[in-house]
Amino acid sequence: MALSYKARRRWSLVILLIGLPAYIIAAVWVMSWFETRPHIAIEVLIYLGLGVLWAFPLKAIFKGVGQADPDQQD
């Protein structure tokens, strides 16, 4: 079942305001599991990977949200 345009807009707002900060906190928490701080290049690669990883499962929700409502009548 596909989400309507309004539902996708609402969900994208919830994800950006609540989900993304929670994901950032979780990513920093995962990085704190290392006994010692990894080399800066490895640390940057891990953060870049985690920074991109959250977007792939949510791509369908964010797709077209910045465009005009396709169901709206002129």
Tell me the per-residue pLDDT of 32-61, one tens digit each, with 9 for 90 and over: 998 899 999 999 999 899 889 888 888 888
Integer Cα distance of 34 and 60 in angstroms: 33
**Helices and strands, counts by H and E, the chain:** 4, 0
Work out how many domains the chain is built from and give that number. 1
Whole-number pLDDT of residue 51: 87
> Within a domain: residue 6?
no
Reading the block at residue 2, the tokens are 């596909």
pTM, to two decimals: 0.75
CA contacts within 13 A on the Cβ side of 17: 6
- Could you tell me the residue range of the domain that residue 40 belongs to? 34-59
- Give the chain's end-to-end CA distance (angstroms, integer): 26
Residue 20, domain member (yes or no): no
Q: Is residue 10 part of a domain?
A: no
| Among 72, 51, 65, CA closest to 7 | 65
